Amino acid sequence: MADQEKILQPELPIIDPHHHLMNHYNMRYEIENLKADMADGHNIQTTVYVECRRGYREDLPANLAPVGETETVEAIVAPLPKRPTDFCAGIVAHADLLLGDAVDEVLDAHQAASKRFRGIRHLAAWDDDEAVHLRMINEHPHLLAEPAFHEGARRLAARGLSLDTWLYHPQLPELAAFARAVPDVQIVLDHMGMPVGVGRYAGKRAEVDALWRQGIREVAACPNVVVKLGGFVMPISGFGWHERAVPVGSEELARTTRAFYLFLIDAFGPDRCMFESNFPMDREAAAYNVLWNSFKRIAAGFSDAEKDALFRRTAARIYRLDT
C-alpha cells in the first residue's frame, strides 16, 4: 500500500499481537516487509507471530510437522535486536488439539524449539457456503464440540499456554459452550468473531449484526475468553475495501467500523480486548499506518489506562510478554 498518513499519538506504546510472516500461498511477507510497514512512526514495541502454516516439516510425522513453523520463525528473529521493536516476542504456532492427550508430544517440541512459544492456534471457522469457507483449512463443522478437542485444550491449560481460534459469527454460541466446558483454558478469539458479509450473508448486514451481537454477548460472559480487535478489513467482512482504486483512509475506516469495535469493548471490557494488525492479510485493504490510526481514532474517548489495555497491556498479559 502506498498511502501514508500523519501518525496520530506517535508516543502511544503498542503491542501488535497478531501478524504473520509468509512465503507461501502465493504471498510473500517477510520480516523486512513487516519492518517497512512499521517504519511509519507508530510506537510498536513488541509483536506476536501467529501461525499461517509456514515451514511445516515434511521429514516429521504429520502431528509434529507444525513444529517446523516455530523453528522457522525462531531462526528468522533470533539474530534481531530487541529494540526498538522486539519482533515475534511471542509465537503462536499450531498443534492439532484433536490429538487429545497425545498433543503433549507436539507441545514439548514447540517449547524445545523456542522460548518465545506462547500457545497454539487451531482454526474452527467453518461454513457450508463455499464462498465463505473456501480459504479455510478446518474441515470439522463442529470442531469445538469434539471431546478430543476439549482434552487437547486442557493440555494447553496445564502448561499455561493460550488457545487462539478464529470462527464465523454463527459459530459464536459453539465457542461459548466450549469456553464454559474448559474454564481453565485461556481462549483468544481472533478477528472479533467475524461478522461475515459475503456468500449467503451478503446484503444481510442488519441480520448478521444482530446474530453477531447476540453471540458476542454469550462469549463475553465467559471470563476465560479475550478478543482481538481487527481482521475486519479482510474481504470476508463484505465491505469491499480491497477492491477500491483509492485505498481507504483512517477516518472512513474508523467511521465505518467504530460501532463494531465499541460494542466489543463494551461487552468484554478493555482489559479483555487487544487491537491487532492481522498483517499481511489486512494489507489487502489498508496500509499499516492507516489501520493503527483508525484504531486510535476509535479509542479516542477512552482513558489513558483503558487505551493502555487496548493497545498494549492485554496482549502483554495474555501472551506473557516482557515490556
**DSSP code per residue over 125-155:** ---S-HHHHTT-----TTGGG-HHHHHHHHH
Domain assignment present for 6: no
3-state class of 48 per DSSP? Answer: strand
What pLDDT does 37 receive? 93
Cβ(161)–Cβ(118) below 8 Å: yes
Domain assignment present for 70: yes
Q: Which residue segment(s) compose the domain that 133 sits in? A: 13-318
pTM value > 0.85: yes
How many distinct structural domains can be found in the chain? Answer: 1
What pLDDT does 24 receive? 86
What pLDDT does 134 receive? 66
Q: Residues of the chain whose pLDDT is less than 70?
A: 1-3, 134-136
Domain assignment present for 171: yes
Q: Which residues fall within 8 angstroms of residue 229, CB to CB, at 6 or more apart?
A: 192, 261, 264, 265, 273, 274, 275, 276, 295, 310
Domain assignment present for 30: yes
Place of cell 475468553: 225
Report the DSSP beta bridge partners of residue 27. 24
Phi-psi region of 34 (alpha: psi -120 to 50; beta: other; left: phi over 0): alpha
CATH number where 64 lies: 3.20.20.140
Domain assignment present for 1: no
Nearest to 32 by CA among 67, 75, 96, 76: 76
Domain assignment present for 210: yes
CA distance 286 to 244: 10
Nearest to 153 by CA among 177, 179, 172: 179
Domain assignment present for 91: yes
Domain assignment present for 77: yes
Give the pairing type, strands 117-121 and 162-165. parallel
